[in-house]
Amino acid sequence: MDRKVLSGVLAVVASCVSLAASADDLSYQGFVHSDKRIKCLYGYAATKTGDHAAAMQIFNDCIARWNDVYSMIWLAQMYESGSGVPKDLGKAAALIKRGAEQPDGTAYVSLARYHWGVALWEGVGVDPDPDQARTWLERAAAEGQTEAMDYLRQRAD
């Protein structure tokens, strides 16, 4: 994930935590059944603190309720690494593809497009397809994903 995006996400999560009224409000479990979209950010925090069960519930609900690309990316990373779930590269790829196919302007869609391009290039959970990978990486780069630009440059060398 882009460091600037990650810093922003962490700042939002930290400010939400600091605004919590009681210790009970700080539990990630408290956000599992929340109908507020801010919970999707708490899924990230739950993952990073090792509460993978809560993270998975939060991400799955955010995907079901709002088709949340941010949640698709993080849940895919859980499946790709086997963090708190059985490693499943096929599920990871399907989630990233779903995120990449969301409409332009959707939050985090360019990041999903970058990850989908890399998955296609490297054959992570899908058959390698360098032509399609280049298309997705170029699209992500045009949308400002510097990682996509860097990835393409490295492959050209």
Tens-digit pLDDT profile for residues 113-130: 999 999 999 999 999 999
Q: DSSP per residue over 43-102, as a string?
A: HHHHHHTT-HHHHHHHHHHHHHHH--HHHHHHHHHHHHHTSSS---HHHHHHHHHHHHTS
Structural domain range at position 79? 3-156
106-115 average pLDDT score: 96
34 DSSP 8-state letter: -
Given this model, what pLDDT does residue 7 score?
55
DSSP code, position 23: G
pLDDT at res. 1? 55
Cα–Cα separations (whole angstroms), residue 97 to 82, 92, 118: 18, 9, 11
Q: How many domains does the chain have?
A: 1
Q: What is the mean pLDDT of residues 53-82?
A: 96
Of 12 and 91, the structure prediction assigns the larger pLDDT to 91
Q: Which residues contact 44 (CB under 8 A, 6 or more apart)?
A: 9, 13, 55, 70, 74
pLDDT at 31 (0 to 100): 73
The answer to whether the CB of 76 falls within 8 A of the CB of 92 is yes
Instruction: Centre a 10 Å sphere on the Cβ of residue 122 and count the other Cβ atoms it contains.
Output: 13
Tokens at residue 23, please?
A: 């210790």
| Tens-place pLDDT, residues 2-60 | 566 545 544 545 444 444 433 344 556 667 777 888 899 989 989 998 999 999 999 99
Q: Could you tell me the sign of the dihedral formed by the alpha carbons of 141, 56, 78, 76, in that order?
A: negative
Closest of 43, 39, 58, 51 to residue 84, by C-alpha = 51
CATH of residue 78:
1.25.40.10
